[in-house]
Amino acid sequence: MGDAKRAIGKCPPPRTDVGLWPDGGAAADEELARYAKALAHPARVKVLRILAQQDACISGDIASQFDLAPSTVSQHVKVLKDAGLIRGEVDGPRVCYCVEPNVLRRLKGLVAVL
């Protein structure tokens, strides 16, 4: 598995509409369940880890980091994007992926209050 990922610049500013500390209750439980479902596959955990370890947007063939078909990795990326854990920004012919740091902090906060 080659290292085809490529840092192409800083990630855009993080979302600011995310409360960092959970207030508890049913809504927080549902939110945590949504994030847990998005992370319920080792490939998605790995994608999130790869992106979280970078201080830059990652473009290139993320699928080359996996022993999975590119279409399968693409589906895993979509699940993470739909959950709000990562985002993809169009950069010319490519998509640049970044972790959403405030959402990741929120997830950590939700887990911490279990």
- 11/102: higher pLDDT: 102
Q: Is it the case that residue 35 has pLDDT exceeding 90?
A: yes
Count of CB atoms situated within 10 Å of the CB of 26: 7
Total-model pTM: 0.79
How distant, in Å, are the alpha carbons of 18, 29, 32, 34, 88 from that of 26? 17, 5, 10, 12, 29
What is residue 70's predicted lDDT score, i.e. its pLDDT?
86
Helices 42-52 + 70-82 axis angle, to 10? 70
Q: Is it the case that residue 92 has pLDDT exceeding 60?
A: yes
Decide yes or no: CATH 1.10.10.10 for domain 5-10+19-112. yes
